[in-house]
Structure 1
Amino acid sequence: MAYTFQVTIDCADPHPLADWWADALGWEVEPSDEAFIRGLIAAGHATDADTTTHRGTLVWTVGTGIRHPEGPERAPRILFLRVPEPKTVKNRVHLDVRVGEEDIATVVERLVAKGATFLHEGRQGPSVWTTIADPEGNELCISHG
C-alpha cells in the first residue's frame, strides 16, 4: 500500500512564513474557515487563546497550510507548525524547488528581496543549484530541475 504525506515545517510564526512560501512557490495559503473555528469555540472544543488574527482573518494560532493551485494530486500539502524552540542547526531535510526555464539567479534575487538569505551555490556534474534559507532559516535549494 502506498501512503500519502504532507511536509511539515516547524517555525516560530507560521502564518507569515506560509505567506512567504506560498509566494515563493506560486501556491495558495489554505483559507481559514472562521465559522468552523467560532463553532468549535462556542461548543467548548477550543478557546479564543487557540486563535489569532492574520491579515484580518481569524486563524488557528498553531499553524496553517499551503497547497499547490492544481490540488493535492499535483503536490503534497505543506504545513507550517508553530514550535517554541528556534532553529539551531542545518536542516536534515529540505525542499528542492525546480524553477524550470526561469533564471535561478533571478528567482533567488526575488526571494532574497522578500526575506530569504543566500547561503551558497552548488554544482555536481550538469546540475547547478543555489541554496538559500527562508526568513526563519529553513534551507531550500533553487534549481532548474
Structure 2
Amino acid sequence: MAYDFQVTVDCTDPHVLADWWAETLGWDVEPQDEAFIKEMVAKGFATDDQTAHHRGKLVWRTGAAIVHPDNGRRMLFQFDEAAKTVKNRVHVDIRAGEANRGAERDKLTARGATFLWEGRQGPQAWFTMADPEGNEFCVS
C-alpha cells in the first residue's frame, strides 16, 4: 500500500516561515478557522497562550501549513523553541531548471535566503541554500 505524506519543518516562527515558503514555491498558506479557535478557547479545550495573531488573524501559535494549489500536497511548519543548530538530514529541492537556477538563487537571496555553496555531480548542478531560519534546501 502506498502512503501519502507531508514534510514537517520545526521552526521558531511557523507563520512567518510558512509565508516565506508559500511565496517561494507558489503554494497557498492554509487558512485557519478563527471561529473554531475562539470556540476551542471558550470551551476550555485550548488557552489564549496557545494562539497568536498573524497578519491580523487569530491562529494557532504552534503551527502553520502551506498547500500546493492544484494537488493539495501539504508542508507543515511546527513551532520548536530551539533554534536550528546542525545540518538538516532531510531537505527540500526546488527544481528551477538549469537556465533559471542563478536567477532563482538571486531572487531567494533578496528575500532572505542564504547561499551556502554550489554542488555538482556529473552533469547535474545545484545551489545549496538556507531559508530565513537556517533550514537547508537546494535549487537545481
Q: One fold, TM greater than 0.5?
A: yes
Q: Which residue of 2 aligns with 1:6?
A: 6
Aligned sequence identity (%): 60
Match among 102, 116, 121 for residue 118 of structure 2: 121
Tell me how far 1:102 sits from its aligned partner.
5.4
Tell me how far 1:14 sits from its aligned partner.
0.5
Runs of 4+ in 1 over 6 A off after TM superposition: none
Matches within 5 A, 1:25-44: 25-44=25-44
CA distance in 2, matches of 1:51, 1:99: 36
1:96 aligns to 2:93 (yes or no): yes
**Matched AA of 1:34:** E
Tell me how far 1:9 sits from its aligned partner.
0.3
Tell me how far 1:71 sits from its aligned partner.
2.8
CA distance in 2, matches of 1:91, 1:59: 27
CA distance in 1, matches of 2:79, 2:123: 38
**Matched AA of 2:18:** A
1:106 aligns to 2:106 (yes or no): no
Mark the CA change 1:62 to 1:88 in structure 2 (over 3 Å): closer, same or farther. same
**Matched AA of 2:89:** R
Matches within 5 A, 1:8-87: 8-72=8-72, 76-87=73-84
**How many residues are aligned here?**
140
Unaligned runs of 5+ in 2: none
**Matched AA of 1:141:** C
**Matched AA of 1:127:** Q
Tell me how far 1:4 sits from its aligned partner.
1.3
CA distance in 1, matches of 2:98, 2:82: 38
> TM-score by structure 2 length?
0.96
Tell me how far 1:135 sits from its aligned partner.
0.2
Tell me how far 1:100 sits from its aligned partner.
3.8
Tell me how far 1:101 sits from its aligned partner.
6.6
Deviation larger for 96-105 or 61-70: 96-105
**Matched AA of 2:28:** E
Say which SS state the counterpart of residue 130 (structure 1) adopts.
strand
Unaligned runs of 5+ in 1: none
